[in-house]
Amino acid sequence: MKRAYFFLGCIFFLIGALSAQDKIVKLKIIETSDIHGNYYPYDFILRHEAEGSLARVYALVQKEREVYKDNLLLLDNGDILQGQPCAYYYNYIDTVSPHLAAETLNFMGYSTGNMGNHDVETGRAVFDRWADDCKFPVLGANIIDTTTGKTHFKPYEVLERDGVKIVVLGMITPAIPVWLSENLWSGLRFDDMEETARKWMKIIREQEKPDLVIGIFHAGQDALLMGGKYRENASVEVARNVPGFDIVLMGHDHARELKKIKNIAGDSVLIMDPASKGIVVANADVTLKLRDGKVIDKQIHGALTETKDYGVSEDFIKHFAPQFDAVQDFVSKKIGCFTETISTRPAYFGSSAFIDLIHTLQLEITGAEISLSAPLSYDTEISKGDVFVSDMFNLYKYENMLYTMKLSGKEVKDALEMSYDLWTNRMKSPDDHLLLLRKTRREGANDRASFQNFSFNFDSAAGIIYTVDVTKPSREKVTIISMADGTPFSMDKMYRVALNSYRGNGGGELLTKGAGISQDELKDRILFSTDKDLRYYLMQYIEKKGVIEPHALGQWKFIPEEWTVPAAKRDYEYLFGKVEK
């Protein structure tokens, strides 16, 4: 009997020891952001294989799921509905089939999505349809329905894995009204990120009692005030000032980031940003130790993982082959012919055929007196010869509307002054740079790696004759000589100005900070807006004309030319390697 009791005691001891043993749970968190229509490893615009893509991301995810199974959480951080023509096709052409962006994310097994500003840009009919097609929640804690005061999308999602409760809170940059016309987001408002995070963190802590909190924010890390009232790129501020986040996943600024910061409570927060197009993913390993169901230790490590090393998922390619073929047919349609090759490269150094073609089309479509436009792609070209639908995505990158606005002569000049301040260096010797360039290139931000500022804010004008003296100080570089037809230009006269809706709504702040027009006054200056995006009208125009003879209008130049011409050659070689013949 004593031996029996001894053995029973040993068994009960072992059972007690096992029950008291700590439990280890390992999670894998993978974020994609700013995919911009790059679902396939193919560029439908340039007609060749592309880096990144969801097909490459899925190959990586399939490999990681062999280890982590359901403990892998796949999250998307917005700007998935704009960019490559395959997004445009399912936004506006085939509106009956399930949206390809939703279908691909469903197929890959995403846990949550998040809204980006370029998703809003597609308009409510498109982004609401896409969100409905997604079999996971699309988040937006600071996107508010103005009628009900409630969030238009789910503010956060609760995910449970292996006894661990994870909460994902999603937010978007609130600066949408600075970029997009209200008809695209009517009935909604976009609240401040930090205020919203404080509100929902309190609710999450009290009601959900999470073990891990992830913020997924479609906003970058370099905070600034836009339009006088919108805190843009406030992700790091939120991570620092609102205790409770373990991981903050960023997007929007197309710049890779991986770091840890201390919040105001002294806790560590992992910050990650995978830039764009699925070339890398943000990849976090989380190890939690639980005792009696409670987390007693948490280890979080992050990495930015290249997708190129994982190849392309054949399952993905096979499954979405019919949609690939439909998009290929769409972009292959011929719409006209160009007699010359045009490139954005010369646009940074003076009047150029590429930008002046857009100016010419904007003036002819609107009947305006002056046109403002910028290079929307950092480095692109359209070859002479037959022009196809695919080329239109090179000619005009974004789905902006075309506005006609009333601006005074002085406001036009002041907007240009700010543009050239963003664009050009102040030359103090012939050996200086002409352009305002970064000292080091920013990794993962190839669309502006060499410029200090975004090239899509480098507006030039047509309809007026002017010079830009790069030896002059800020706000004193532009001299407007006359209208293009030789008639006088007046600072006091109100002009009809053609420009895109991004600029007309305050994007880049050339009209607000530059021209001094208040954010609220901008909409009263709009005389006319197209109801479709500018690319649609450009396609119509080219198709109607048949043959386009692009050429530089020669209506503006940098001076003094004995300095700027050699400097332009040097800067061209710095940016692009060699001068075009």
In tens, the pLDDT along 391-445 reads 999 999 888 999 999 999 999 999 999 999 999 999 999 999 999 998 775 554 4
Averaged pLDDT of the chain: 94
Fold topology of 333-576: 5'-nucleotidase;  domain 2 (3.90.780)
What pLDDT does 443 receive?
52
In tens, the pLDDT along 537-565 reads 989 999 999 999 999 999 999 999 999 99
Phi, psi of 345 (to 5 degrees): -55, -50
What pLDDT does 3 receive?
53
> Cα–Cα–Cα angle for 398, 400, 401, nearest 5°?
155
Burial 253-270 (b: 16+ CB within 10 A, else e): bbbbbbeeeebeeeeebb
What pLDDT does 12 receive?
47
The mean pLDDT value for 147-172 works out to 97
Architecture of domain 20-328: 4-Layer Sandwich (3.60)
Question: pLDDT-based confidence at 15, cuts 50/70/90?
Answer: very low
Q: Tell me the H-state helices in 343-480.
A: 353-366, 389-395, 409-423
Q: Is the pLDDT of residue 160 over 80?
A: yes
What pLDDT does 444 receive?
47
What pLDDT does 447 receive?
52
**Residue with structure tokens 């050239």?**
420
Q: Is the pLDDT of residue 94 over 70?
A: yes
Closest CA to 463 of 560, 579, 373, 347: 373
The mean pLDDT value for 174-196 works out to 95
Q: Is the pLDDT of residue 97 over 50?
A: yes
Three-state DSSP class for 309? helix
Q: Strand (E) positions, 109-163? A: 113-114, 138-139, 143-145, 156-161
Compute the Cα dihedral for 447, 453, 456, 461 and give only its sign. negative
What pLDDT does 372 receive?
98
- Considering the chain, what percentage of its residues have pLDDT values greater than 90? 88
The mean pLDDT value for 237-250 works out to 98
CATH 3.90.780.10 boundaries in the chain? 333-576
In tens, the pLDDT along 48-80 reads 999 999 999 999 999 999 999 999 999 999 999
Three-state DSSP class for 254? coil
Burial (CB < 10 A; 0-12, 13-18, 19+), residue 285, is middle
What pLDDT does 227 receive?
83
Question: pLDDT-based confidence at 111, cuts 50/70/90?
Answer: very high
d(CA 271, CA 259): 5
Q: Is the pLDDT of residue 355 over 50?
A: yes
The mean pLDDT value for 364-384 works out to 94
CATH 3.60.21.10 boundaries in the chain? 20-328
Contacts of 104 (CB under 8 A, 6+ apart): 39, 54, 316, 320
Question: pLDDT-based confidence at 448, cuts 50/70/90?
Answer: low
Name which of 23-37, 129-143, 376-390 the model is least confident about.
376-390
In tens, the pLDDT along 260-300 reads 999 999 999 999 999 999 999 999 999 999 999 899 999 99
In tens, the pLDDT along 198-239 reads 999 999 999 999 999 999 999 999 999 988 889 999 999 999
- Considering the chain, what percentage of its residues have pLDDT values greater than 70? 94
Q: Strand (E) positions, 40-132? A: 42-43, 48-49, 72-76, 113-114
Pairing of strands 334-338, 547-548: parallel
The mean pLDDT value for 142-161 works out to 98
Three-state DSSP class for 12? helix
